[in-house]
Amino acid sequence: MQAIVEVVLPVFGLIVCGYALARSPVLSVEGAKGLTGFVFYVAIPALLFRIVAKGIATDELDFTIVYAYFTGVGVVFVFAMVLGRFVFRRSFAEQALMGMTAVFGNTVMLGLPLIYMAFGDAGIVPVTLIIAFHSTILITATTLLLELSRGQRRGFALIIWAALKALIKNPVILALLAGLAWAMTGQTLPAVLDRFINLLSGAAAPCALAALGASLATYRLGGDLRECATVVGLKLLGLPVVVWFLCAWVFALDPLWTAVATIIAAQPVGANVFILAQQYDTYTARSASAVLISTILSVLVLAVMLAKLAP
């Protein structure tokens, strides 16, 4: 109960505030996009840079969590595609997007602030390792499957190259690299710079959550809700169970890292699924419904997980 009151309710309270503002004349569509841009390009990179620049021991960078997490992602992704093929009779392109919907979480706008509020600096390293590979692996893999469904086999090299260029330009990755570079100098951050970055870092969590709430105001329910419920169940319950089992019993990770990976696996469906669905003009209604429904239901799921797993 304490975890629910002290972490989950404030988090989702900020999301509700963002949603209410977006539904009022106070925050326009352009304003919501601007807030999201500030969070993604300024506030969250500042938070990550400051933490990494202050020093992360090399032995803390255990990439085993990446193997464990994305092994679980692969299992659930394939399982969702199988359900799409044999239960819901979807096309190959729809199966690919159904798989992505079942595993692609809102790791940056919700997962990172939630982990930081629940675990503090101790949770930043494991969540950052997951985030560093999350979009690159899942968006690239799904795009390749979508192109395969169109028979465009010659475009694979270009897709991978585009993904690598996007990775290099990603502000989260750039912030991490900049922080590591500063840490390697052995110098402390100047007091004025540290204070400035600290102020920006303080805006990361509340602004990210408010921006997430504002973005939800643009989604509407539609499509096959039975199928949507199945995908949301896989995302909020199936993936966390698989990831927890792999982290705790197969890869034997530290309990805190296992908790972080499990909670990140339980994040609601990320908006990039809907964006990709729009680009290929398929699975749009169901992906939009999944984003909205999973975000609402994640209040209960994350509350239970934090109560069980958070310190």
Domain 2-309 bears CATH identifier 1.10.3470 = no
Over the chain, what is the mean pLDDT? 86
Angle between the N-to-C axes of helices 112-119 and 255-265, in degrees from 0 to 180, rounded to the nearest 10: 150
105 three-class SS: strand
**Which amino acid belongs to residue 91?**
S
Inform me whether the pLDDT recorded for 269 exceeds 80: yes
pLDDT tens sequence across 146-195: 877 776 555 666 766 766 666 677 787 788 788 878 888 888 888 898 89
pLDDT tens sequence across 13-24: 888 899 999 989
| Cα torsion through 79, 306, 217, 204, rounded to 10 | -110
What is the distance between the alpha carbons of residues 51 and 58, in angstroms, rounded to a whole number? 14
Confirm if 189 and 54 have CB atoms less than 8 A apart: yes
pLDDT tens sequence across 107-158: 988 898 889 888 888 888 899 889 888 887 898 888 888 877 776 555 666 7
pTM for the whole thing? 0.85
Q: Which region among 53-62, 112-121, 124-133, 213-222 has the lowest average model confidence (pLDDT)?
A: 53-62
Percent of the chain with pLDDT over 90: 34
